[in-house]
Structure 1
Amino acid sequence: MHNKQGTQFIYDLIEKYGPVVKLQGAHGRKILYVFDPRAMHSIVVKDQYSYEQPNWFIKSNLLTLGPGLLSTLGDHHRKQRRMLNPVFSINHMRHMIPMFYDVGHKLRAAIEERVRTAPAEIDMLNWMGRAALELIGQAGLGHSFDPLKEDVTPDVYAEAIKAYVPALYDLSVFRWTLPYVVRIGTSAFRRRVIRWLPMQRLHRLQDVVDTMHRRATEIYLEKKARLEEGDEALLQQVGEGRDIMSILLKANMQASVEDRLSEEELIGQMVTMTFAAMDTTSNMLSQILHILAQRPDAQERLRAEVREAIHGNQDIIYDELVSLPYLDAVCRETLRLHPPATFIFREAQRDMVLPLSQPIEGVDGSLMSEIPIPKGTVVQVGIMGSNMSKKLWGEDAYEWKPERWLTKLPEAVTAAHIPGVYSNLGFKFAQLEMKVVLALLLSNFKFELSDKPIVWNISGIRFPTVGVDGKKPELPLRVSLLDKSA
C-alpha cells in the first residue's frame, strides 16, 4: 500500500475482500482497513474524538511541520481550528479571487510564450507546481516566491516543500518509533545524534525540515514587522494585507490570552498550509489536465462552458465561477476517483464498537453487524476504497464520469453521509484555485497526450512519472494555442 504502485493493492482489497479488512502493518502491527460508509462516519464524524490520529503521525508532523493543525489533538487542535475557520470562510474567498487571477494570468502568459509559434511539449506538472506555490504564497502568506518566468532560480522553500513527502516516505518504516525517540534527550542532542548516524536519507529529511522552517520564520518575522508598522505598511506588501497570514496575525493579536496562538504555532500553520496547498493542488490540476488530454470530448465541453461564462476580456466573477456545473463536476469526479490522500490513519483511544452498514462474514464464517475495536487499534480509513465502491457508486464506479454529479447521486451515496475532502478546512481554497487555473488554461490552450507513457504513483500523495520506472515527477503534454476568436 505504501509502494509507488500501491493503487493496484487497493483495487485488490476492494474487489476480493469486504469493506473491513485486517492487514499486517509495520513491525507486525495489526491494522484494520475500513471503507464501510457507516463505519467511516463513526470514525471520522460521530465518534471522531474516540479515534484520534496515531501518536507516531502527530509526533512526526510536530517534528517536521511544527505545531500546526496536522500536529495537534483535542482542545489544542480545536483552539487552532477556531482561529483559522474565519480565514477560510466563503466571504474571505471572494476577496482572494483577484490574487488567484493575478497568478493565473502570469501562468497563462508563461505557457503562451512557449507555444505562440507552434505546439510544444510542456511539463505541466512543473508549471502547476510553480503556480500552486505562488498561489499559496500570495493568497496564503502575502509573499511572492516565483514571477513565473523561465529563467528563475527555484525558491529554496519551494524545493524543500516538494522534497518533504518523498524524504519522509523514505523513512516511513521509522515513523512508528517516533513517540519513543522524542523522549530521548533534548532537541539539540537528538540533532547531533542524527548527524552522527550514517543515514543519508535521515540527513536529507533534516535539511529539508530546516529549510522549510528557516524560510517560514523569515516570512513570518517580515509579516509581523509590517503589521506592527500599521495598515499602510501591509498595503505595500503582496496581497495588500488580505492574505490568510495577515488576517490570522491580526485576529491573533486581538484574541484573548487563552485563545491566542504562540509564535511557534503561527509559524507551524505557515509551514503546514504551504505543504498542504502546494503539492496537493499542483498534482490535482495535473491529474485533471492529463485526464482531459485523454478525453478531448470532455475537454471541449468544459472549454465551451468556460468561454461562454467569459464576458469580453474580463475574468469570470466568483459567483459565476463556482456555479459552473461541468467545471464543478470535473473537479469533484477527479477528486473522487483520484483523491490526493488514498487513506488516513486513526487510532482508537478507548474500547469501541464499530457499526457496519451491512453485515460482513468473519474469519469463522459468522455474520457481524458490528466489530469490537480494542483501545490502541490502528484503523486505516479507506478513502479510495469508499470512492470506488461499486455498492455505493454503481457498476461504473471505476470510470471517470463527471456527468454523475450533474444528476442525482445514487441513494446509497447520499444516505451514507460519507466524510470526504469537502469537510477539509482548506478545501474551498484549493477548489477555487483549481477552478481559476482551469478556466484560464482551457479557454486559451488545447492539451493533448505526448508520445510518452504517463504513470501515476503513490508516495504519500499522487504524482506522475514517465513510465513505471521513472524517478522524476513530470507530466509532459502537447500544448497548443487556441484562436481566441473561435
Structure 2
Amino acid sequence: MECSAFQLFLWFAKVLGLLAALVVARGVLWLVNLLVVAPRFDPLRNLPGPDAPAFHSHFHEVNDPDITPAIYHDWTKNLFGKTFRYHGYGKHDYRLMSFDLRVLSHVLTSPVYEKPWQTRAYLGRLLGRGKTLSQSRRKRKFTVIVGVFNMEGAEHRALRKLIGPAFTAQAVKGMTPIFFQKAEELRDRWDALLPANGPGSATFDVAHWISRTAFDIFGLAGFDYHFNALHDESEQVYSAYRRMFTISDKASQTRVLKQLYLPIVERIWPDEDDKITQQCLKTIRDCGIGLIHTKKETCMAEKLDFRSEEKDILSLLIKSNLSNEPSNRLSDTELLDQLSSFLFAGSDSTAVAITWCLHILSQHPDVQDRLRAEIISGPAPDTTTSSKRNSTSSVSSTSSVMQADTIDALPYLDAVLRETLRVSPPVHGTVRVATTDDLIPISSPVILRNGKIIRENEHIRIKKGSFVHIPVEGINMSEDIWGPDARQFNPDRWTSLPAGATPPSFPGLANLMSFSFGRASCPGYRFALLEAKIIIATLLPQFVFSPVEGIEIGKYNSVLTRPFVREKLDTEGIQLPLRISRYID
C-alpha cells in the first residue's frame, strides 16, 4: 500500500515535471520567436530608421514633446526621410512612423488599422468599462467598449451615427449661453482675487482654473449637471475625476505595464492609488447611472423631440438612442461610458488647448495686444442676457447665439487658436495596429537599408500586429506642409497658407492633425473650438497675461500634453502659473 502511494506520488511528480518542462519549452520558443525569428522576417526591418542596442527603446525620443520637434526634424530632413521605423520595447519591436500624408490617410481611414488593445485597456481602466458588445464567432474574442473614442468596427460606426445629433453646428450653438456663463464666472473670480484698486496683478495656476471652467461647462452642456467647480471643488463627481486623473498623470511606465499585462496584481494586491481609482470610478458610475435614469424618465414622460428645450448632450443622446430599434439601443451602462469619454475629451482636452493658448499669448505680447484689440473692437457684450446666463437653465437665447457667431467669425482669434492647436496640440500622437498583413501606399520615396528604393505610388509592406505611430504634433509642424518656419508660432500664416496646406483635409482646420481625421476624427470639434473662442474672448479684454519670472514651462505627455514647471513635476505636478493683471485701456 505504501509502495503504491509512493509510486502514485512519483507518477504525479513526473507529470508535473513534464508539464513544467512543456511550459518552459513553450516560453523559450515564444521568446526565441519574439526576439530572433519574427524580427528577421519583419518587412519593417529593412526600412531606414534609428539604430540602438537590443533592448533600447525609442519611446522617449518619440513621445516626449519637449524634444520631439527637434528630433522629428532631424530624422525626416537629415536622416531617414518621411517614412521609417523605430524601436518599441527593443530592437525586436519594429514600429512604423510616417510623415507622408498618403500613408497617414491610408492608416487612419482603412478598417485594417485599429487602436491597440493596450490603448483601449488603459483608457478603459481610466474611464470605466461598459459591457461587452460583440463576440467573434470564430475566435470567441470579446470586444470591450469604453466610449466612441475607444471603439472599432461596426459598433464604432453605429455609435458615431447615434451621437451625431449632439454635435451638429445647431446643437453646439444651443449651448453657447453656458459657454458665456462660465467664461464670465471665471473672469469675475479672477477679478475678485486681484488687488481691489488699480491694475494689480497676481500669479494664478491657469491650467487648474481653466480645467475647472471646462469641467463646469461640460457638466451643464453634457448632462445639465452642476459641478460648480469654479466656486467649490468639493462636489463628489468632480473630486473623483480630478483625483483619478492626478493619479494617471503621475503614473510611471512600470505601473502602466503592470496594469496592462498583470491586472490580476491590482485585483489581488491593490496599492493605495488602485484603491482610490476604484473608489472614484464607483462614485462616478453611481452618480452617472442615477442621472441617466432621471433624464430618461423625463424624455420618455414628456415625449421630447429634437425641437424641445432640452439641449444638453445627454438628452440628445437619449432621444437619439430611443429612436433606434430596441435591439440596437445602448444600455444605461453603455450610455454612461459615452458620457465618461465625452467628459474626458470635451473638458480635459479643451482645457489643455485653452491653457496652451494663454501661455503662448503671454510669450507673445504683440499677438496678445493685437488679439485683444480685435475682440474689443467687436460688438460689446450683451448684458441683457446676463440673467439667463447666470440661471440654472441651459436654454439658448437668440442674442447669445448671435454674439457667439460674431466671436466665431473674428479672423485673428480664429488664426491664433488654429496656430495654438498646430504647435501645441492636446494629443501629441496616437498609435494604430495592423489587424492583417497590408500594403501601404506612399507618395514620397523610401530608401531601404539595402539601397533599394521604393518609389512614389508604390507600397511598403507591413505584417499583422505591427504598430503604426501617428505623429500628430510632427505633422502639425512639418516643414513640407507649413514652410521653413513651421516650428514657430505665427498666426499670420493662416492668411497666406502654403499651397500644400490649403485643402481642408482634416475636420474644421486645414491640414491640422489636432482633431485627427477619417474614422477616428473628433466628433466634438465644433464644441471645443467655439468654447475656446468664447473663453478667450471673455478673458482677454479684462486681463493681461505675462510669464512668471524665474520659471520655465515644459510639456509633459500623459494621455494629453500638459504643462509643468521644470524641476517641479514630481513635487508639484501639472500646472501653468501665469502673471495676470487687469487690462487698463
Same fold (TM over 0.5): yes
The amino acid that maps onto 1:476 is P
Corresponding residue of 2:97? 33
The code of the aligned residue for 1:60 comes to Y
Contact 1:42 1:355 in 2 (8 A): yes
**Alignment-derived partner of residue 379 in structure 1:** 468
Match of 2:207 among 112, 121, 125: 125
Aligned residue for 2:391?
A: none
Displacement of 1:6 in angstroms is 4.5
Please tell me whether residue 392 in structure 1 is matched to residue 454 in structure 2. no
Which residue in 2 is equivalent to 1:236?
none
**Residue pairs, 1:2-21, within 5 angstroms:** 5-9=64-68, 11-16=70-75, 17-21=80-84
Hey, what does 1:439 align to over in structure 2?
A: 537
User: Alpha carbons of 1:159 and 1:357: their partners in 2 closer, same or farther (altered >3 Å)?
Assistant: farther
Map 1:255-404 to 2 at 5 A: 255-311=324-380, 313-314=382-383, 317-369=403-455, 370-404=459-493
Residue deviations 1:238-288 (CA, integer Å, cap 9, x gap)? x96211101111222222224322212101011111111222111111111
- In structure 2, the partner of 1:244 is 313
Are the counterparts in 2 of residues 120 and 478 from structure 1 also a CA contact under 8 Å? yes
Deviations 1:203-249 (A, max 9, x none): 444344334323322332333344345379xxxxxx96211101111
1:43 aligns with 2:136: no
Secondary structure, aligned partner of 1:385:
helix
Identify which of 54, 59, 71 aligns with 2:121.
Answer: 59
Question: For 1:384-434, what per-residue CA distance to the aligned partner results, in whole angstroms no more than 9, with x for missing partners?
Answer: 111111122111000001111122x21223369457234410111011110
Max Rg structure: 2
Mapped contact 2:415–2:491 kept (Cα < 8 A): yes
Q: Is the 8 A contact 2:229 2:235 kept in 1?
A: no
The reply to whether residue 473 of structure 1 matches residue 535 of structure 2 is no
Q: Choose from 145, 158, 163 the match for 1:79.
A: 158
Note if 1:253 corresponds to 2:316.
Answer: no
- When residues 177 and 121 of structure 1 are mapped into structure 2, their CA distance, relative to the original with a 3 A threshold, is closer
Aligned residue for 1:255, secondary structure, equals coil
Amino acid at match of 2:121: K
Deviates more, 1:415-424 or 1:155-164: 415-424
SS of match in other structure, 2:546: strand
Match of 2:8 in 1: none
Q: Match for residue 24 of structure 1?
A: 87
Corresponding residue SS for 1:58: helix
Bigger Cα displacement from structure 2, 93-102 vs 445-454: 445-454
Are residue 154 (structure 1) and residue 234 (structure 2) matched? yes
Are the counterparts in 2 of residues 360 and 368 from structure 1 also a CA contact under 8 Å? yes
Mapped partners of 2:439, 2:107: distance in 1: 10
Could you tell me how far 1:195 is from its partner in structure 2? 4.2
| Equivalent-residue separation in structure 1 for 2:554 and 2:244 (angstroms) | 21
Distance 1:416 1:22 in 2: 28
Question: Which residue identity is paired with 1:42?
Answer: H
Cα offset for 1:438?
Answer: 0.4
Contact between 1:326 and 1:406, CA under 8 Å: does it hold in 2? no
Aligned residue for 2:561? 462
Cα distance in 2 between the residues matched to 1:58 and 1:473 = 24
C-alpha separation between the residues in 1 aligned to 2:220 and 2:428? 29
Q: Is this contact kept in 2: 1:7–1:458, CA < 8 A?
A: no
Paired letter, 1:15: D
Q: Describe the shift of the 1:456–1:362 C-alpha distance in structure 2 as closer, same or farther (beyond 3 A).
A: same
Residue 473 of structure 1, CA deviation? 1.5
Conservation of the 8 A alpha-carbon contact between 1:354 and 1:372: yes
Q: Distance in 2 between matches of 1:358 and 1:374?
A: 21
- Following TM superposition, by how much is the alpha carbon of 1:103 offset from its aligned partner in structure 2, in angstroms? 1.2
Q: 1:90 to 1:395 in 2, by over 3 A?
A: same
**Structure 2: where are the runs of 5+ without partners?**
1-58, 130-144, 384-399, 506-510, 516-520
Moved more, 62-71 or 324-333: 62-71
Once the two structures are superposed, what CA deviation does each residue of 1:165-213 show, in whole Å capped at 9, x if it has no partner? 554462655767878768xxxxxxx6xx634325444444434433432
Of structures 1 and 2, the one with the larger relative CO (CA 8 A, separation 6+) is 1
Alignment partners' CA distance in 2, 1:10 and 1:398: 7
Which of 68, 89, 94 aligns to 2:173? It is: 94
Give the letter for the 1:412 counterpart: G
Please state if 1:421 is matched with 2:421: no
Return the alpha-carbon distance in structure 2 between the equivalents of residues 180 and 400 of structure 1. 41
Letter in 1 for 2:89: A
Deviations, residues 29-86 of structure 1 (Å, cap 9, x unaligned): 32212222111111113x2x11111122223334442331123211111111101111
Bigger drift between 1-10 and 267-276 goes to 1-10
Supply the distance in 2 between the matched residues of 1:11 and 1:164 (Cα, whole angstroms).
Answer: 33
Aligned residue pair count: 466
Indicate the larger mover: 270-279 or 450-459: 450-459
Alpha-carbon distance between aligned partners in 1 of 2:69 and 2:583, rounded to the nearest angstrom: 40
Q: Which amino acid aligns with 1:134?
A: D
Cα separation, 1, equivalents of 2:288 and 2:68: 37
Instruction: Give the secondary-structure state (helix, strand or coil) at the position aligned to 2:473.
Output: helix
Alignment match, 1:187: none
Question: What SS does structure 1 have at the residue aligned with 2:443?
Answer: strand
Preserved contact between residue 97 and residue 469 of structure 2 (Cα < 8 Å): yes
Q: Is the 8 A contact 1:56 1:175 kept in 2?
A: no
- Ranges in structure 1 where 5+ consecutive residues have no aligned partner: 183-189, 233-238
Task: Supply the distance in 2 between the matched residues of 1:419 and 1:75 (Cα, whole angstroms).
Answer: 27
Pair 1:160–1:31, CA change in 2 (3 A): farther
TM-score (norm 1): 0.88
Letter in 1 for 2:99: F
Question: Partner residue of 2:219?
Answer: 137
Within 2, Cα distance between the matches of 1:477 and 1:240? 39
RMSD of aligned residue pairs (Cα, Å): 2.8
Task: Label 1:31 to 1:159 Cα distance change in 2 as closer, same or farther (>3 A).
Answer: farther
* Counterpart AA for 1:468: E
